[in-house]
């Protein structure tokens, strides 16, 4: 994009969207930040995470890069990018980059686009929950058989007065809460650290206009803590829907296993429906399958699995009560444009020496 100008700092973008999808956004950035020269590379999306980030960028451009916008690609070593001052990752999590030398051995600020996923993921969660509670799949299958049966609708459960537990009350969880609240459900929230004051409950990250719960006023109850006892207090609230939206770290790996499913069942024998839009490893999948087979939970909507892609022979495909989508809940036709909005905001803050939006704490892993 544009003629190369060595006097300018290079904004290197290596992203899996055709350049025409972000051309207008890049032009706006170039206009607002004339000291930066955007160079865009289209890295075709790979289905397997292990195959991502293999794109080759010319060494001279890597060496000149001051700002990097990326989803998976990083220079092979810090030495290849001696001028790099800011990395804007176009995902909510950075666990896929955590083993990279740039992540592990440098202090280059690394930010995410957390905040842009709330609308589409919240819609996916509510959609899957409604499909389950309104028995849509039963009716769809009946339609294929040209079968009219009103009796199937007698067990439909609406959302008024139901309890929605949001495990991880970030931008995604807040938009889920907004939609659940609109359906007259009661929302309860769980966070790793306490949110005891109104100020601590505010969302200070990027918010898509008109969405979320900026002041944290929707949840009827808040729970917090890293101990299992605290988690089980939250899971004992008799929730009808449990939404998993915590980042994947060592502490959250297999955060939910048999004891947690048993706790859910004890508090709601009717069955909790689980929606996981975070990472597959947060659920102990063997324990999940067992919980479903033994009716400890009502069902599970999984947009993420362990591993990804899920092998055809994996038993999860054939487990009753499971609905699987291929890690698509966060996708939308305006994803790249919203990501550019976060990049532009961070460029403003970086230029002015202010705190960045969504800067990753490498020690915590998010």
C-alpha 78/C-alpha 103 separation (Å) is 9
Same domain for 216 and 187: yes
- In this predicted model, which residue has the larger pLDDT, 1 or 324? 324
Q: What is the pLDDT of residues 329-342, one digit of tens each?
A: 999 999 999 999 99
Same domain for 312 and 339: no
pLDDT at 61: 96
Q: Say yes or no to pLDDT of 201 above 70.
A: yes
Long-range contacts of 51-58 (CB under 8 A, 24+ apart): 52/96, 55/14, 57/12, 57/14
Same domain for 108 and 43: yes
pTM: 0.88
Same domain for 59 and 151: no
Q: ∠ at Cα 105 (99, 107), nearest 5°?
A: 115
Q: ∠ at Cα 176 (137, 109), nearest 5°?
A: 125
pLDDT at 92: 87
pLDDT at 2: 44
Same domain for 298 and 227: yes
Is position 365 within any domain?
no
Same domain for 212 and 92: no
pLDDT at 49: 64
Structure tokens at 141: 């299958």
Distances (CA, A) of 318 to 149, 164, 321: 26, 26, 9
Same domain for 281 and 230: yes
CATH code, 40: 3.40.50.720
Strand segments (E) across 119-168: 163-167
Same domain for 159 and 196: yes
pLDDT at 339: 97
Run of H or E including 189: strand 186-191
- pLDDT mean over 252-264: 98
Structure tokens at 88: 């804007």
Same domain for 343 and 241: no
Is position 363 within any domain?
no
225: alpha, beta or left, given left = phi > 0 and alpha = psi -120 to 50? left
Same domain for 256 and 112: no
Is position 361 within any domain?
no
Q: What is the mean pLDDT of the chain?
A: 94
Q: Which of 53-67, 178-192, 302-316 has the lowest mean pLDDT?
A: 53-67
Is position 78 within any domain?
yes
pLDDT band at 1 (very low <50, low <70, confident <90, very high): very low
pLDDT band at 175 (very low <50, low <70, confident <90, very high): very high
C-alpha 221/C-alpha 289 separation (Å) is 30
| Host domain of residue 189 | 118-324
Q: What is the pLDDT of residues 176-190, one digit of tens each?
A: 999 999 999 999 999
Same domain for 105 and 123: no
Q: What is the pLDDT of residues 292-303, one digit of tens each?
A: 999 999 999 999
C-alpha 356/C-alpha 336 separation (Å) is 19
In percent, how much of the chain has pLDDT > 90?
Answer: 89
Is position 106 within any domain?
yes
C-alpha 265/C-alpha 239 separation (Å) is 10
Same domain for 266 and 139: yes
pLDDT at 202: 96
In 3D space, the residue among 274, 248, 278 whose CA is nearest the CA of residue 263 turns out to be 274
pLDDT at 5: 54
Q: Say yes or no to pLDDT of 48 above 70.
A: no
């Amino acid at each position: 994009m544009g003629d190369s100008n060595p006097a300018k700092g290079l904004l290197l973008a290596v992203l899996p969207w055709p350049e025409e999808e972000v051309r207008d956004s890049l032009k706006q950035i170039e206009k607002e930040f004339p000291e930066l020269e955007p160079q865009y590379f289209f890295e075709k999306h790979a289905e397997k995470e292990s195959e991502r980030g293999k794109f080759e960028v010319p060494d001279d451009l890597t060496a000149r890069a001051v700002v990097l916008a990326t989803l998976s690609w990083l220079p092979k070593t810090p030495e290849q990018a001696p001028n790099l001052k800011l990395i804007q990752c176009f995902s909510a999590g950075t666990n896929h980059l955590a083993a990279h030398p740039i992540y592990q051995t440098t202090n280059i600020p690394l930010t995410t686009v957390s905040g842009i996923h709330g609308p589409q993921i919240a819609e996916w969660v509510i959609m899957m929950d409604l499909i389950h509670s309104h028995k849509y799949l039963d009716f769809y299958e009946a339609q294929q058989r040209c079968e009219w049966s009103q009796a199937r609708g007698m067990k439909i459960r609406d959302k008024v007065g139901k309890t929605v537990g949001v495990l991880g009350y970030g931008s995604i969880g807040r938009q889920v809460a907004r939609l659940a609240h609109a359906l007259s459900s009661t929302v309860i929230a769980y966070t790793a650290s306490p949110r005891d004051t109104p100020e601590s409950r505010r969302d200070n990250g990027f918010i898509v206009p008109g969405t979320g719960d900026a002041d944290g006023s929707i949840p009827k109850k808040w729970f917090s803590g890293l101990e299992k006892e605290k988690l089980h207090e939250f899971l004992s609230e008799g929730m009808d829907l449990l939404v998993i939206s915590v980042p994947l770290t060592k502490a959250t790996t297999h955060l939910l296993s048999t004891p947690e499913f048993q706790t859910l069942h004890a508090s709601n024998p009717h069955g909790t429906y689980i929606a996981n839009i975070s990472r597959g490893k947060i659920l102990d999948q063997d324990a999940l399958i067992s919980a479903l087979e033994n009716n400890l939970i009502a069902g599970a909507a999984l947009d993420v699995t362990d591993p990804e892609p899920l092998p055809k022979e994996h038993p999860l495909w054939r487990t009753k009560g499971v609905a699987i989508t291929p890690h698509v809940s966060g996708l939308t036709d305006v994803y790249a444009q919203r990501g550019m909005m976060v990049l532009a905001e961070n460029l403003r803050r970086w230029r002015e020496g202010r705190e960045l939006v969504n800067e990753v704490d490498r020690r915590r892993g998010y």
